[in-house]
Structure 1
Amino acid sequence: MRAMIENYRNLPAGHCGSGAMRNLIYHYTGLELDEGVVFGLGAGLDSVFFTYEQAKPPFMLFGRGSSMEVDLAETLGMDYSEQAEPDNDKAWADVREAVLAGKPTMLSGDILYLDYREFKVHFPAHRFVLLGFDEEREEVYIADRVRAEPETCSMQALRLSRNPPEAISTFNAWGQFTSGSVRHSLPDACGLALYKTVTRMHGMDHSQLDLMGAAQGGGGHEIAVGLKGLLTFSRHLHSWRQLDDATDHVRYVDNAIIKYGTGGGFFRNHFAVFMSWAREQRPDLVSIVTEQLAHQAAVLWNDLSPTMQQLAERPGEEALWQQAEAQVDDIYETEYSLFGHLGDTVLRTG
């Protein structure tokens, strides 16, 4: 059996989740949105820091939350849902049937196992779209963020990626659209997304913390999100200079800011695009000050990356540690101000 969805437009993207959702939304609804707008409408921005002893270095740092794709559907009023399936055979049968029905389907997996990707470290919850399969060749065909053309992956590699035997698993999570409806206007969706983002960054909404805790399975891991996540990252950074060798720690941070498919600036580039768009959609909620602070945050995160690169090369240089710590402090102050100003308007209107 061979099946292939031929009419899927796959625009390359800076980030896997927002890129995949942008393309899926266009396919199912015809709605054309910038990738940064998609990211922002999904209330994607966050600062997630958690310790993870099995990893090297023993922590992870994410600039987006866990539920952006589902939250995007909620803010826009779309008929899209996601589910996990621990049974690998059933998980494949479910998405196979979707392809046979001509429905491009969102998948989630660990990028390490995808044999067409050169990026070979554990990176859980990578998003990509299943377009087809060939059972005789034992291949699947995937729309991913790097190239417009479909990627070819072995079925075994896909199976391992979707529910890996080690590290963090999303347990064959997959998402599907059941209609092409978009029930909320863009200004209304913008307001809903801003409210979600503000309440999460301020720690009023615990959903991302709960999701990360569930993924970690409890067990004493340190987990912090939002502005508190930024502070936790800053505190750990201050302690790294005491390590015998902090090279892998600072190199990871550099990669997390840009190279791990964030769209640049630890996802702040995308959020800045969204904030400029949001100011047009909701001038009652977004001022020129908050728009400028969002762009400033993106610049500060991007400027931190070369400092991390220098620290990886010269981890014993005290002046570089001081520079990095000052930069992270500036990032926190900027984002504290950003979400303080935004909170003043968004929380008042509810």
Structure 2
Amino acid sequence: MMEGCAVKHVVKGFEHVPGVHCGSTALADVLRFYGLPLDEAACFGLGSGLDFIYVESDQLSPTRFFNGRTPSLEPTLFQHLGLDVDWNRSETFPWSAIRQYVARDIPVFVLTDLYYLDYYKTKTHFSLHGVLVVGFDDERGVCLTADTDREGIQETSIESLRLAMSSTEGAVPLSYPWFAVEAFPEVDLSRAARRAIARTASRMVSPPDASTGIPAMERFVEGLPDWGELADWKWAARFGYQVIERRGTGGGAFRAMYARFLSEAQSRFGVEELRELQASWRMERIAGGWRELGKEFRRISEGQQPKFAAAAVLARELLEQERQFFQDLYCRFVPGP
């Protein structure tokens, strides 16, 4: 049969292992597919997944949005492994290209707004949700996906995928982002881990603008006492709890997952500098602080009064801990001029 002629196809040999976070689960699935079994935390860390993003906009819901990971996780992991990979973006739905890769038994990464994926049945828009396209059925007009903690393969209509990949309703507008990795060479995981840690430290300490990293945390902390004046203060608090403890973070605003990566980088990948810095222990402590902040946001959201004072104190303590932690990583792993 000629390439692309099949009306129904699933990538041969692909196995989905459910995980916690969408991007790192997809990465672990693909690396396993190509014979490099790494756990989800290792994939998250090797992709420099940790970050802090803060957005204020009356056009969004909620009007105050933060997240603990970077949008560039997925291609960055492959870049650290030595491949020139990045998101493809376009003005038109690239289904033909995606379908051709899948027909050749190559899983395809896509970013979506999960609101539009048929199997979520949610009323909440959440963009930057990564899934793998691993099959299609032309006769029924559906594509098959592997998605985070869901067992087995999911179905959504091709039209729903089009809407999900082009959504403008989430915090970040999408323009049909996707990429595929056909194979990769043997890798030096110690070198990749050092590159990944250096990139995370640089992005936190010296980001390109004040919407990310420590500067974004500073804006978040300074603005938090005034959240009580927002018309949507209850939803902003509830969403804050969700992006710390739920929504695929693994707990502690992704910091618990990053702590596990740091432990693995030290013990398995040979990054001995982390031992002296007590890096995994310190990051786990920071993750615990974020868990406490998440609980406080939840209490606020379930109350009748917008009391953000205690949350502001917890957030400021976390800011100081993260500032010192990432400065220490930066000094150890980022080369001087």
Superposed pair shares fold, TM > 0.5: yes
Partner of 1:252: 239
Partner of 1:187: 190
1:19 aligns with 2:25: yes
Contact 1:13 1:35 in 2 (8 A): yes
CA distance in 1, matches of 2:195, 2:142: 40
Question: Cα distance, 1:337 vs. partner?
Answer: 1.9
Partner of 1:214: none
Match of 2:142 among 121, 139, 142: 139
CA distance in 1, matches of 2:202, 2:168: 35
Aligned residue runs from structure 1 range 156-235, under 5 A? 156-164=159-167, 166-167=169-170, 168-183=172-187, 185-203=188-206, 205-206=207-208, 209=209, 224-235=211-222
Aligned residue runs from structure 1 range 1-350, under 5 A? 1-28=7-34, 30-78=35-83, 80-88=85-93, 91-164=94-167, 166-167=169-170, 168-183=172-187, 185-203=188-206, 205-206=207-208, 209=209, 224-243=211-230, 246-280=233-267, 281-316=270-305, 318=307, 321-347=308-334
Q: Mark the runs of 5 or more structure 1 residues left unpaired by the alignment.
A: 210-222
Contact 1:39 1:68 in 2 (8 A): yes
Q: Mark the runs of 5 or more structure 2 residues left unpaired by the alignment.
A: 1-6
Question: Cα distance, 1:349 vs. partner?
Answer: 7.2
Contact 2:260 2:280 in 1 (8 A): no
CA distance in 1, matches of 2:331, 2:275: 10
CA distance in 1, matches of 2:335, 2:159: 51
Q: Secondary structure at the match of 1:147?
A: coil
Task: Give the letter for the 2:284 counterpart.
Answer: H
Partner of 1:215: none
Structure 1 residues 244 and 287, CA gap change in structure 2 (3 angstroms):
same
Structure 1 residues 74 and 128, CA gap change in structure 2 (3 angstroms):
same
4+ runs of 1 displaced by more than 6 Å? none
Larger helix fraction of residues = 1
Q: Secondary structure at the match of 1:345?
A: helix
Q: What fraction of aligned residue pairs are identical, expressed as a percent?
A: 28
RMSD of aligned alpha carbons: 1.9
Aligned residues: 328
TM-score (norm 2): 0.91
Question: Cα distance, 1:290 vs. partner?
Answer: 2.3
Partner of 2:4: none
Task: Give the letter for the 2:173 counterpart.
Answer: S
Task: Give the letter for the 1:2 counterpart.
Answer: K
Partner of 1:219: none
Question: Cα distance, 1:285 vs. partner?
Answer: 4.6
Contact 1:246 1:315 in 2 (8 A): no
TM-score (norm 1): 0.88
Contact 1:296 1:334 in 2 (8 A): no
Q: Secondary structure at the match of 1:287?
A: helix
Contact 2:22 2:131 in 1 (8 A): yes
CA distance in 2, matches of 1:96, 1:317: 49
